[in-house]
Amino acid sequence: MWSADGLVVAWYERERKTGMLTAWLAAVAPDGERHWRVSLSGGGKQARNPVVRVHDEALHVAWIEQNGPENAEATIWYQRFSAAGLPLQPPMQVGQASRETWNLNAAVHDGAFVIAYDAVIGTAAPELHMIVIRNRLVERRRLSEDDGYASLYPDLQFSMFGRAALTWFDERDGNQEVYLLTGDADALGSIGTANARRISHTPEDSIGAYLAWNGEVIGLAWSDRVGGQRDIFTQQFSAEGRPVTPVYRVASSSEHAGVPAIRARDDGFLIAWNDYVLRGDRAHLDVASSRARVAQVPVSR
Could you tell me where the beta strands, DSSP code E, fall in 135-257?
137-142, 151-158, 163-170, 177-184, 197-198, 206-214, 217-226, 229-238, 248-251, 256-257
pTM above 0.85, yes or no: yes
What are the residue ranges spanned by the domains of the chain? 1-99, 108-301
CATH H-level, domain 108-301: superfamily: TolB, C-terminal domain (2.120.10.30)
Rounding to the nearest 10 degrees, give the CA dihedral for residues 42, 97, 185, 154: 110
State the Cα–Cα distance between residues 251 and 293, nearest whole angstrom.
9
Extract the residue ranges of the chain whose pLDDT is less than 70.
1-5, 68-72, 278-288
- The values of phi and psi at residue 215, to 5°, are 65, -120
- Name the 3-class secondary structure at 9: strand
Please compute Rg for the chain using Cα positions: 19
Q: What is the pLDDT of residues 162-186, one digit of tens each?
A: 999 999 999 998 889 999 999 999 9
How long is the chain? Answer: 301
Q: Is the separation of the CB atoms in 267 and 239 below 8 Å? A: no
State the Cα–Cα distance between residues 196 and 193, nearest whole angstrom.
5
State the Cα–Cα distance between residues 207 and 6, nearest whole angstrom.
31
Supply the pLDDT for residue 221: 97
Q: What is the pLDDT of residues 72-113, one digit of tens each?
A: 689 999 999 999 999 999 999 999 999 889 999 999 999 999
Supply the pLDDT for residue 277: 78
| Alpha carbon distances (Å) from 249 to 67, 225, 231, 235 | 43, 11, 7, 9
State the Cα–Cα distance between residues 107 and 60, nearest whole angstrom.
10
Supply the pLDDT for residue 289: 74
Q: Which residues contact 57 (CB under 8 A, 6 or more apart)?
A: 82, 83
Supply the pLDDT for residue 124: 96
Supply the pLDDT for residue 67: 78
- How many beta carbons lie within 10 A of that of residue 301, not counting itself? 10
* Mean pLDDT, the chain, integer: 91
Q: Is the separation of the CB atoms in 224 and 213 below 8 Å? A: no
